[in-house]
Structure 1
Amino acid sequence: MTRIISLLTALLPLSICVAQAAPENTYSPYAGRDYPTQVYFGDTHHHTSNSGDAFMNGDRLTPEMAYRFARGAEVVSSTGVPVRLSRPMDFLVISDHAEGLGVIMEVYNGNPLFMQDATLKRWSQAMKEGGKAAADSMNELISAQAQGTLPGVIQDPATVGPVIRSVWQQYTETAERFNEPGRFTAMIGFEWTSVPGGNNLHRNVLFRDGKARADQVLPYSSWQSEDPEALWAWMANYEEKTGGSLLAIPHNGNLSNGRMFEIETFDGKPLTADYAQRRQRWEPLQEMMQTKGASETHPTLSPNDEFADFGLAGWEYGNLTLEDSLETPQMRPTMYLRAGLQRGLEQERALGTNPFKFGFIGGTDVHNSLTSIEEDNFMGKHVVQEPRPERWEHVSKQGFGKTRYTWHYTAAGYAAVWARENTREALWDAMRRKEVYATSGSRMTVRFFAGWDYDQEDALSRDVAAAGYAGGVPMGGDLKGSERGASKAPHFLVSALKDPIFGNLDRIQIVKGWLDASGKTHEKIYDVVWADADRRAIGKDGRLTPVGNTVDVERATWADSIGEPGLTTVWVDPDFDPSQPAFYYARVIEIPTPTWMAYDQVRYGIKMSEDVPMVHQERAWTSPVWYTP
């Protein structure tokens, strides 16, 4: 039996939980609770004018302006557009590039140390000219980094070290000023931007700590090493030196051209148990969704997944710079996240430890200091992609006969974190234990638990979260086979509540991946609860009847006359084999709504080409739960 829950009822189990065992002399059922009762939405991947490529592309907004905007203030963008969020964010990680942090500003300002180099002098002039000249210089900067041909002077520690230290200390001071525990978290971070040959191996490094510890180091740069193991060594040294804590979040693997989940090290050696343990230790999360598309899977990897093509247009051509090689089907098993989880099961059988045991988180990768990613309020990734009538057809990148346009960029995504409070420590701890999920831009509320004894009474209860924690593990956890009863399959308690200003919910799915006795991986997608159940059913082809489509493209509107505000159920795996290691995650799909391109088309009175999508279905992905025999 499944249950569709009302909006009011759904609010209670997701935000209020009872204590597990209240002392006799207390009355309040909420006293003493010791698990997360609130989800916090934010961005873990955000660039300001301190990032060289952002500044070259016209971003003039500082970290201070980025924090003000994230906290709900109205600001004016670098192109003079007033902008404000529909709702304040709960947290923000400004993760400017470690490579030459703040140095491009000095190039722009004509610092004599840099003007002796002809390339830097030309870049300085191009930035002052603006427009296409500045954009071309930014692409030249990115390509030079990918190919290892940057001017030596901006990689010389003696020259740039003082600049970077000054900018870093100003940034950490600003983060301290805007960090307000309980209301808004300004988590300190930076981006390590490894991009060998244009293949995206970037990581965002997040501090659990404040300025006092963060200022004891300078951000580690890929100019020092492009090898992730070197980054992990630096992180270990930081923790030993300061007593602080770090974690790293690899970026969207869909631009790595097969390098994100390689089954060999960066320098081509076979993986070892030690490598697997260190990767799992330092990289507990993976970026599922951002402006450069989705990294979940690809139709060639998941031909039976009708939602496998989300956010891929333009991003399946090749790597970040379109300079190394075109993306091929052979690369995809080691670049998309679902396939990466499958590689992890294989490696765990071989090594004894799973190197790719990661949760899912969202980010934006905006380079204009504005995390403004709702479809009707999308400010673009770069300044040159901020609102104007022709932005949709602006050419972002070309190579191998392929062209990426601004319309290929998605308005995405958010990091959703189940934490005990809105503080650096609590949010970081939740990320470390993988009790997080990713969304494509909406703020839907999602719970996902796995256990052995949930029943439909747990789904009917208003205390879904209390039942979930008491009877099993949340998203990101491990379902222990030793606790399984005789002939019992795992039970999953899943609940979702719509974002009030986004579309109703279409369905909740559970995605399963497993490893059989012969070492072959498999996957299957189950529709476990859906809206409008009186008129929809799973057909003979195994697919659920579509929810429908109320979008009026000519007006960029939709109606919540289909779908439901909340869905919840308990689902039991009908194909469970206790001898097979597996992972499970929930995917929540909204009803069809307009894309940012549809809103632009109406606002500017223009007509885009037929290949530009006007309708899509927003979604969320929970971190997996793993079962190990």
Structure 2
Amino acid sequence: MKRLSALLLCSSILATPVWADGGAADPEQFETLYPGKTYSPYAKRSFPSNVFWGDTHVHTGMSLDAGLFGNTLGPEDAWKLAKGEEIISSTGLPVKLGRPLDWMVLTDHTDLMGFAIDLQNGAPNVLAEEKGREWYAGFLEGGAAAGVAAVDLITSFTQGTLPESFLTSYSTGAQAYDRVWERIVDAAEDANEPGHFTAFIGFEWTSVPKGFNLHRNVMLRDGANSALQVSPPVTQAPFGDTDPFYLWQWLEDYEERTGGTAMAFAHNGNLSNGWMFPTEDTYHGGKVDEEYVKLRAKWEPHYEITQIKGDGEAHPYLSPDDEFADYENWDVGNLDITELKTDDMLSREYAREALKQGLLLEQKLGVNPYKFGIGAATDSHTALATAEEENFFGKSTSVEPSATRMNHPFVKSDLGEIEGYRLLASGYTGVWAKNNTRREIFDAMKRKETYATTGPRMTVRFFGGWEFEDDDLRSRAPAFIGYEKGAPMGGDLGAQTSDAPNFMIIALRDPIGANLDRVQVVKGWLEADGTLQEKVYDVAWSGDREPDANGKVPAVGNTVDLEAATWTNTIGASELTAIWTDPDFDPAERAFYYVRVLEIPTPRWVVYDKVRLGAEIPEGAELIGQERAYTSPIWYTPEG
């Protein structure tokens, strides 16, 4: 009994925290170290400490174009792959992601949603029309005949010559249409595992007047109870409209009807021939006025900056002093190359220029319609969210891995061609959020605390303020200081001051990826005379390189082995950090800042095809690229 009592006493003593003076621990003593926190830096955090990786733009066989090009996979398959399972692609190839995603949005096209599946199955209502029988025969024959049928069907859609019965059966509110929507919603509900994997309900509103891309993806914060109260909007008259105002009204009606929350975001301004980021009367015959800027700012807080159909950050014509602006640019024409690109269109197509034009519109109309956060996606039409160079399954089922796929043009017309080898294995969105749930990730995207990558999963932090110091980088947990002293990516700098703002930047390489070459800050600003300016600053780089007389840091080098489709991390850095102060700050000028992180050179997907499949790479194809990340901007607005 005495022995038991002694053990209990000892246990009691060890269970009670004791300080040198014999007193119990006082939580208040930690306030000077971590204000409002505890000794453990991981407990009681009030800021997002996790980056969750996802894809905001994936299509299954439910989409008209995806299904016509042979995609037989449904939403259930897409969710399985995203969550880490191995599945079989539409062409019979086993496929699995190198690492599972944390979240995803399935965005099947709204117009004629589900029609392709019924065409593949020879549904009676499809075969009742002559055109339906013609397209079905082409699909059964396969190969080139299927391609011809698919192009003819899509052309009929874009030119408004589809049989009326198809529009009636596969438009908002129709029984067949709503049945497909219900399947999409149910599949997302089944895949959603709060805290582990987030499956968003969404769709792509497919506006493409004159072949000019005005597509918007829509992402719902809500579950089936709200989503099944509505039918997604289409663009074909008389059931819908291609004007963005039509979509914005649908979003307004959705929130009023369901009590839910939604957002929209555009993509591929590079295929809009100047209509994506209008500044005056340059889109769809519409007018950029106070109503336009207010509604676009309200409903479109995010932009998809890079994906399979080219990178949309910058263009060398617009940014001639930026040696990294010429990256995976698609600048031939509109979506179907029925109209060629002219230089005057470019300023209304690329994200950096849109951010600059937003400053001018804000000064003119009081609201910045292009104050968007930045993300990336695949826009895969295979149901496979593959953005890895060595695991790239292409844009559509017709160009899944094969020895000849890079010779298959993405689009070709009498005016021009976009070659198959120009497809970009991109991209993913990193979201800084507290938890992996619909609420947390959606809200992080709404507040713009996001960044895009072309595929690698780099970790990037970006804070702006007025009081950052070099010593702030000594901590291995710099986010505490970042949130305490400043605003994160997607935020706004504080009140006007004569002092220049400074920024804290931390970039870590993808743990299984390439080392980092450099970190850059991209600044855009509006001068007093209305002139828009931009500048790219190298703020951190690997090795002992020195900037030249023009302030340019030399190239990092190249370790790519084209014969083996690999590289070595013998150059570059595993992490780069900087405290950077704007040397050109004027407190009277509106401005924005975002970070671009570049990896060292690595092989593009075409090199993997050559090594694995014996593919012959066409002349002119890029073999090596520098993958990258783009953060959402931080904005500065003068008082008054």
Q: TM-score, normalised by structure 1?
A: 0.93
**Stretch of structure 1 that moved more, 221-230 or 148-157:** 148-157
One-letter code aligned to 2:483: Y
Secondary structure of the 2:364 match is: helix
Give the conservation status (yes or no) of the 8 Å contact 1:153–1:159.
no
Secondary structure of the 2:558 match is: coil
Secondary structure of the 1:626 match is: strand
Secondary structure of the 1:307 match is: coil
1:281 equivalent in alignment to 2:306: no
Q: 1:412 aligns with which of 426, 430, 435?
A: 426
Q: CA RMSD for the aligned pairs?
A: 1.5
Cα distance per residue 1:207-249 (max 9 Å; x no partner): 0000110000011111211010110001000000000000001
5 Å-filtered alignment, 1:463-502, equals 463-482=477-496, 484=497, 487-502=498-513
Quickly say closer, same or farther: Cα 1:528–1:27, change in 2 above 3 A. Answer: closer
Give the corresponding residue for 1:15.
none
Q: Whose RCO is larger (CA < 8 A, sep 6+)? A: 1
Q: 2:275 aligns with which of 237, 251, 259?
A: 259
Q: 2:117 aligns with which of 105, 108, 112?
A: 105
One-letter code aligned to 2:226: R
1:525 equivalent in alignment to 2:536: yes
Offset at residue 518 of structure 1 (A) = 0.7
Give the corresponding residue for 1:212.
225
Give the corresponding residue for 2:316.
299
Cα distance per residue 1:462-481 (max 9 Å; x no partner): 12111111111111111133
Secondary structure of the 1:85 match is: coil
1:171 equivalent in alignment to 2:171: no
Aligned-partner Cα distance in 2 for 1:21–1:145: 59
Secondary structure of the 1:134 match is: helix
Give structure 1 stretches of 5+ with no counterpart. 1-17
Aligned-partner Cα distance in 1 for 2:153–2:350: 27
Give the conservation status (yes or no) of the 8 Å contact 1:252–1:286.
no
5 Å-filtered alignment, 1:114-513, equals 114-156=126-168, 161-223=174-236, 224-264=240-280, 266-312=283-329, 315-323=330-338, 325-482=339-496, 484=497, 487-513=498-524
Give structure 2 stretches of 5+ with no counterpart. 1-31
Give the conservation status (yes or no) of the 8 Å contact 1:547–1:563.
yes
Give the conservation status (yes or no) of the 8 Å contact 1:20–1:470.
no
Give the corresponding residue for 2:56.
44
Aligned-partner Cα distance in 1 for 2:255–2:391: 40
Offset at residue 143 of structure 1 (A) = 2.5
Secondary structure of the 1:480 match is: coil
One-letter code aligned to 1:163: A
Q: Identity, % of aligned pairs?
A: 48
Give the conservation status (yes or no) of the 8 Å contact 1:508–1:589.
yes
**Stretch of structure 1 that moved more, 552-561 or 599-608:** 599-608
Aligned-partner Cα distance in 2 for 1:526–1:56: 46
1:91 equivalent in alignment to 2:86: no
Secondary structure of the 1:268 match is: coil
Offset at residue 159 of structure 1 (A) = 7.9
Secondary structure of the 1:576 match is: coil
Give the conservation status (yes or no) of the 8 Å contact 2:111–2:170.
no
**Stretch of structure 1 that moved more, 115-124 or 280-289:** 115-124
Give the conservation status (yes or no) of the 8 Å contact 2:337–2:415.
no
Secondary structure of the 1:459 match is: helix
Give the conservation status (yes or no) of the 8 Å contact 2:275–2:284.
no
Give the conservation status (yes or no) of the 8 Å contact 1:20–1:33.
no
Cα distance per residue 1:18-50 (max 9 Å; x no partner): 995236xx5433322111100011100000011
One-letter code aligned to 2:512: I
Offset at residue 155 of structure 1 (A) = 1.1
Aligned-partner Cα distance in 2 for 1:495–1:320: 37
Q: 1:63 aligns with which of 36, 57, 75?
A: 75
Q: Count matched residues.
A: 602
Aligned-partner Cα distance in 1 for 2:523–2:535: 5
Offset at residue 131 of structure 1 (A) = 1.5
Secondary structure of the 1:138 match is: helix
Cα distance per residue 1:78-135 (max 9 Å; x no partner): 1111111111110111100011111221223222223232222211111122222222
Aligned-partner Cα distance in 2 for 1:133–1:195: 25
Q: TM-score, normalised by structure 2?
A: 0.92
One-letter code aligned to 1:233: Q
Aligned-partner Cα distance in 1 for 2:540–2:84: 35
Cα distance per residue 1:416-468 (max 9 Å; x no partner): 11111100111100010011111001111111110011111112221211111
Offset at residue 520 of structure 1 (A) = 0.8
Give the conservation status (yes or no) of the 8 Å contact 2:308–2:427.
yes
5 Å-filtered alignment, 1:578-593, equals 578-593=587-602
Aligned-partner Cα distance in 1 for 2:287–2:70: 43
Question: Which structure has the larger Rg?
Answer: 2
Quickly say closer, same or farther: Cα 1:19–1:428, change in 2 above 3 A. Answer: farther
Offset at residue 269 of structure 1 (A) = 4.3
Secondary structure of the 2:201 match is: strand
Give the conservation status (yes or no) of the 8 Å contact 1:594–1:616.
yes
Give the conservation status (yes or no) of the 8 Å contact 1:143–1:321.
no
Offset at residue 274 of structure 1 (A) = 2.6
Offset at residue 392 of structure 1 (A) = 0.9
Aligned-partner Cα distance in 1 for 2:201–2:343: 37
One-letter code aligned to 2:218: V
**Stretch of structure 1 that moved more, 259-268 or 556-565:** 259-268
Aligned-partner Cα distance in 1 for 2:576–2:271: 34
